[in-house]
Amino acid sequence: MNAGFKWVGWRALSILLVSFFWPAAELLAQQPADEEGRTRFCAVDIFIDSGSTPLAAYQFRFAVTNDTARIVGIEGGQHAAFRQPPFYDPKAIQNDVAIVAAFSTAPSAELPTGKTRVATIHLRISETSRPQFDLKLQTVADAQGNKIASVASFEERKPQ
């Protein structure tokens, strides 16, 4: 009789504990993340248009200007001359500024001309706001190291 009482007592205690904690567990499980906590990831492609001059080296500064995104990575470009990830300052990206540079020692005939994707910046963005970016081309050079006139642009990649 004593063993039966213990079993009933433990069973009652278990039911009591489950019924007490169950509503709290459901509230925690179903609570949506606050708007500040929702994020998405995106990629921003950086292009340099060197016209008809072969592009051998570049340096640019890319920044998030309204504190709604965090730079989480940088990858290389489309053309073989710039496919490897470019050089960048890891401390600067902690402040959402990327100072990025790359060069190629390939012969002029193997370098890109025209509009070329030279890098991609990966970002984590707050879903509740629209990020703003600033891109400044600092220098661009040909295979002989001469500065060349060029134009930089960026474009957020569309999700597929």
Residue 83: what pLDDT? Answer: 96
CATH number of 35-156: 2.60.40.680
Domain regions of the chain by residue span:
1-31, 35-156
Residue 9: what pLDDT? Answer: 56
Q: What percent of the chain has pLDDT over 90?
A: 58
Residue 36: what pLDDT? Answer: 52
Q: Please, which residues have CB within 8 angstroms of residue 124's CB and are 6 or more apart in sequence?
A: 39, 40, 41, 69, 70, 72
CA–CA distance from 157 to each of 11, 43, 114, 128, 154 (Å)? 58, 6, 20, 19, 9
Q: Is the pLDDT of residue 138 over 70?
A: yes
Q: What is the mean pLDDT of residues 124-135?
A: 88
Residue 32: what pLDDT? Answer: 41
Q: What is the mean pLDDT of residues 123-137?
A: 89
Q: What is the mean pLDDT of residues 26-43?
A: 60
Higher-pLDDT residue of 59 and 2 is 59
Tell me the pLDDT band of 120, cut-offs 50, 70 and 90: very high
Q: Is the pLDDT of residue 42 over 70?
A: yes
